Structure 1
Amino acid sequence: MKSIYPVFRFRGYLALLLILVLTSCLGSVRKGPTVLAIVNGYPITEADLIYALEIEHRREDLSKAGKIRIRDYVNRLIDERLLVEEAERMGIDKEPWLREKLRAFMVRESVTQLYQDEIASKVKVTEEEARDFYRRNYVVYKIGIIDVPTEKDALKALQEIKDGKDFAKVVNRYSAFKSMNRGGVKYTRRALSRSPEFERIVLALKPGEVSRVHKINNRYYIVKLIEVIKPRMEDFEKKKKAIMRTLRKDKEGALAEKYLKKLKEKVKIKVDKDLLAYIEKDREKKELEHDRRTLAMVNGYTLRVSDFIKQIKELKKPEKLDRLVQRWVDTKVVDVEALSRKYYERSPLKEKLQSYKEQLMRRVFIGTTIVPDIKVDEEALRNYYMKHKDRYRTPAEYKLQRIVLKDRKEAEEVIEELRAGADFSWVAMNRSRGSNARRGGMLNWMQKSMMPEEIQDVIDKLEPGQISPIIKGKDSFIIVKLLDIRGREPRPFEQVKSIVYEQYMNEMVSKKVKEFVKRLRADAQIEVMEDNIRRLQERFR
């Protein structure tokens, strides 16, 4: 069921976009949508602008883009409308493939809305539930493990333990896994739950007790429970969001299973089990690729043998055929219900469909009318490569040392020691709380994108050998030393030729589209409602 219902993860709109949405909704109650421009008699409204901003926000973080210029967005919408009109003149809107794409989009979005209405909106997770989950699943079990390949070795080890020999010495003598090197290994209850057999062994023990011999996956195990460590509730806040996501996912999954079962009672489902058995036996037969017999039906949906064989060939890993058929049935059951709700006849899906249709039309129009006129040769690509050579360098890699400290006071003490000439490695080994403290805080070579964001902001200001100021991390204070930088070598043209081609084509297409739209604007009737745009711009301020 989880694969059928894609969970819509709301990313969060900008505060100013939220203001736009709310005020436009209130305004529409009084006097309808605000028109920002009219292109050959077609109105471009505030709702169109809001949708454009939503799409833009999915591509980039507009909160870092500075002040939004409404006029620029309106101009873009005017250009897009002119391209759609040209696509309509070519008859692209009547193409069968377009109808198929729109139907697939309509089904997908209808299912998403159905999931929101019937599953996501009905699931609530409380903080108390999250706390209870934390108490139960973040208990830490410190255990010793003897892991041997034969039952004979396991029984001998167990007998030595019963005879009073030290568990750690028995581990070192028999076990492949030296679990007692640090006095035992620690697992949270949640980690143990990933191996139910192992979880049962540990939970059956009291601190100090040793289990009997257990066979798991052709290995033999003896477990000693050394200590049970209850979770610190003061650490709950760090885990809270992740726990609430887990609980929501589990609740939604359970509710979705129940809902699917209920939906199946409302539709007619038919699966030809004899035909499925025949396919299971002779799936390699070539004639099955053209077999039009019906394998399964859900209301008006039909799964034909040829389509099913195509699905089998597209599988990345083998799967039982009855499960594959069942998944198709489940999907179609949900599609039937989602389409019966007719979300596509009302907002916001109605507008989304129109926008998606226009987007497809513009792409096809550009691909069939503008792109073929762009000629690309080797010389043009080489010239583009030379002009933008910095784009095609290998990524820079940085060698750093790091000191991680608990509070600012301690960090200020350490930075003073370093400025006074203290050895960074020695200070890291003696003061740092980082996992690499024993190595003098030494980190592996890494690209900037692999660093925490707070370190990325500082690293470009350092020269090799320099030490950073104190950096505020999520729950610590950090000091880094830049040891060296490598990379940034230009890659040969032949190695990046496909990237150069793509970037060159993107720029040329953008240039040609702008030239084409400029000609369209000259012949179009365009009226821009400057007062409405100005009032809208004020709301952004």
Structure 2
Amino acid sequence: MDELEEKLSAIHRIKQMTNLEGRAGSIDIDKVIEELINERLIIQEACMVELDEDPFFKAKVNNYTTNRSVIRLRQEEVQNKINVTEDEVYGYFKKYYEEEKHASDEMYEKVKNSIKKKLLKEKEKKRSNDYIAELKNKATVWIDTEFLYSRSLNQKKCDNNIIARVNDASIDDCDFIKEARRHLSKLRGNVLNKEKIKKVNSEVLDSLIIYELVEQEAFKRNYLNDPLFKNNIEEYKDKQLLNLFKQKIILPRSIPLEVELVEYYETHKDDFRKDYEVWFSEMVLQTLESAEVVLKELREGADFEFLASKKSVLAMRTGVNVWIPLRRLSSDIRMAITDLEIGGVSDIVEDSRKYKIIKLKGKRGGEHKKFSSVKDRIKQIFGKKKFDNWIKEYIDKLRNVSQININKKVVNGIKGTV
């Protein structure tokens, strides 16, 4: 039920963003339910084939849980504990804007929001630093200083040798090398300065210690006991299992064979043609009446180039680049040119509030592209078709061996509210 409501809310948001009149429009509830059933069947199958035990999947879920826990901790210990009052904002304004003699009430209304953001940022930074200091004071931290100072930020090889311990957790030289990449710029021009190296190495390790302390504190809070937090993690796991199933089970079966690509090319050759290019002259006239007079003269045998030099409000194109891809022209001009023979003259074309008469001087292209030049594109097109077919076939099989019950009463109730 929660999944259905969430899916419907997402669809409503998308429809409201894309509908100019702001209406959500109709939603096919039955189709949404079928999609959710299909997703749930795939997730169950992913667990049956033990994709939930895949190391890559476990690492992603663990990283996501850690990140969400740290964000929640920051919300509780930093953002929820800072506030900027109206008096503080006005006090800052009076102090720093009066010096420039701009402290009017009108000016205050313009700048108060930016002042509040600035003060909030300053308080957030101070509270963050204070909280980290609190964590450090409570922690037991051991550092192998000699080993730390012997490290190079450019070092690429590591042996999992311990540099520091934070409570019961270890930080090794492999952790150090990963973090050091973010600090390399600090040593620019000082690669032989031992004191500078010690200072930067200490900053690298301090960053790692802070990460470890914050993560340890976040996990102590055991946010997974919070139903909303746990639900967020479970939703993430489901999405990752869906993706992993498609990647490991469906995708390998969807890779097209060479013979399939060739067959697709032979049966869809007309989809892989080179662009037509055209070479033409045009007369541009200001009014429909003047265009009709000129067209009558052309139909009676007048020379197109001569009339263009006398009547056209724009000079004709000249030079080497006379060939233009047909797709670059407006739809009206394309329609006027498409059926013309070489040397033929079009009817009057209204284009960009002007009236044009076109003489086709040449047409080339349109031949089939070589298989080798479109092979990668065919691989994408045909690969997607195979992928879609495989996943449909797999879902059909799962449906045939699964017991699916839909609460019609609840569904009808939802239909009455959307």
Equivalent residue for 1:262, pick from 127, 134, 138: 134
After superposition, the C-alpha distances for 1:309-361 in whole angstroms (9 at most, x for unaligned) are: 24335767456222111111111111111000000122112112222222222
**Alpha-carbon distance change, 385 to 532 in structure 1, aligned in 2, over 3 angstroms:** farther
Match of 2:47 in 1: 88
**Alpha-carbon distance change, 524 to 137 in structure 1, aligned in 2, over 3 angstroms:** farther
State how far apart, in whole Å, the 2-side matches of 1:333 and 1:277 are: 22
Residue 92 (structure 1) shift:
0.9
Equivalent residue for 2:61, pick from 90, 93, 102: 102
CA radius of gyration, larger in: 2
What amino acid does structure 2 have at the position aligned with 1:274?
E
Q: Is 1:290 equivalent to 2:158 in the alignment? A: yes
**Alpha-carbon distance change, 517 to 132 in structure 1, aligned in 2, over 3 angstroms:** farther
**Alpha-carbon distance change, 284 to 116 in structure 1, aligned in 2, over 3 angstroms:** closer
SS at match of 2:142: strand
After superposition, the C-alpha distances for 1:508-540 in whole angstroms (9 at most, x for unaligned) are: 544543443233223321111122133234444
State how far apart, in whole Å, the 2-side matches of 1:122 and 1:349 are: 21
State how far apart, in whole Å, the 2-side matches of 1:264 and 1:62 are: 49
**Alpha-carbon distance change, 529 to 509 in structure 1, aligned in 2, over 3 angstroms:** same
Residue 80 (structure 1) shift:
1.0
**Alpha-carbon distance change, 117 to 53 in structure 1, aligned in 2, over 3 angstroms:** farther
Where does 1:108-147 land on structure 2 (aligned, <5 Å)? 108-134=67-93
Match of 2:226 in 1: 346
Residue 306 (structure 1) shift:
2.9
**Alpha-carbon distance change, 342 to 51 in structure 1, aligned in 2, over 3 angstroms:** farther
Match of 2:4 in 1: 49
Question: Contact 2:93–2:115 (CA<8 Å) still a contact in 1?
Answer: yes
Question: Contact 1:269–1:297 (CA<8 Å) still a contact in 2?
Answer: yes
Match of 1:327 in 2: 207
SS at match of 1:291: coil
After superposition, the C-alpha distances for 1:426-478 in whole angstroms (9 at most, x for unaligned) are: xxxxxxxxxxxxxxxxxxxxxxxxxxxxxxxxxxxxx9679xxxxxxxxxxxx
**Alpha-carbon distance change, 90 to 274 in structure 1, aligned in 2, over 3 angstroms:** same
What amino acid does structure 2 have at the position aligned with 1:271?
I
User: CA RMSD for the aligned pairs?
Assistant: 4.1
The farther-off stretch of 292-301 and 321-330 is 292-301
State how far apart, in whole Å, the 2-side matches of 1:358 and 1:508 are: 24
Residue 69 (structure 1) shift:
4.8
Match of 1:301 in 2: 169
Match of 1:247 in 2: 119
State how far apart, in whole Å, the 2-side matches of 1:323 and 1:381 are: 59
Equivalent residue for 2:241, pick from 361, 368, 371: 361
Question: Contact 1:130–1:240 (CA<8 Å) still a contact in 2?
Answer: yes
What amino acid does structure 2 have at the position aligned with 1:354?
E
What amino acid does structure 1 have at the position aligned with 2:4?
L
Match of 2:147 in 1: 275
SS at match of 2:405: strand
Q: In the comparison of the two structures, how many residue pairs are matched? A: 306
After superposition, the C-alpha distances for 1:370-389 in whole angstroms (9 at most, x for unaligned) are: 11122346666996995899
Q: Which structure carries more strand by proportion?
A: 1
What amino acid does structure 2 have at the position aligned with 1:259?
Y
Match of 1:164 in 2: none
State how far apart, in whole Å, the 2-side matches of 1:497 and 1:233 are: 68
**Alpha-carbon distance change, 50 to 294 in structure 1, aligned in 2, over 3 angstroms:** farther
**Alpha-carbon distance change, 356 to 285 in structure 1, aligned in 2, over 3 angstroms:** closer
The farther-off stretch of 99-108 and 245-254 is 245-254
State how far apart, in whole Å, the 1-side matches of 2:273 and 2:69 are: 45
SS at match of 1:528: coil
SS at match of 2:227: coil
What amino acid does structure 2 have at the position aligned with 1:308?
F
Match of 1:529 in 2: 407
Match of 1:73 in 2: 32
Q: Is 1:372 equivalent to 2:327 in the alignment? A: no
State how far apart, in whole Å, the 1-side matches of 2:39 and 2:160 are: 43
State how far apart, in whole Å, the 2-side matches of 1:284 and 1:275 are: 15
Question: Contact 2:272–2:374 (CA<8 Å) still a contact in 1?
Answer: no
**Alpha-carbon distance change, 256 to 518 in structure 1, aligned in 2, over 3 angstroms:** same
SS at match of 1:350: helix
Q: What is the TM-score of this pair, normalised by structure 2?
A: 0.60
What amino acid does structure 2 have at the position aligned with 1:74?
I
State how far apart, in whole Å, the 2-side matches of 1:79 and 1:311 are: 42
State how far apart, in whole Å, the 2-side matches of 1:515 and 1:113 are: 42
State how far apart, in whole Å, the 2-side matches of 1:384 and 1:318 are: 58
SS at match of 1:279: coil
Aligned-pair identity in percent equals: 24
State how far apart, in whole Å, the 2-side matches of 1:500 and 1:237 are: 60
Question: Contact 1:384–1:500 (CA<8 Å) still a contact in 2?
Answer: no
State how far apart, in whole Å, the 2-side matches of 1:359 and 1:89 are: 16
Residue 96 (structure 1) shift:
2.9
State how far apart, in whole Å, the 1-side matches of 2:222 and 2:269 are: 50
What amino acid does structure 2 have at the position aligned with 1:521?
R
In structure 2, list runs of 5 or more residues that go unmatched.
188-199, 276-350, 355-368
Residue 363 (structure 1) shift:
1.1
SS at match of 1:526: coil
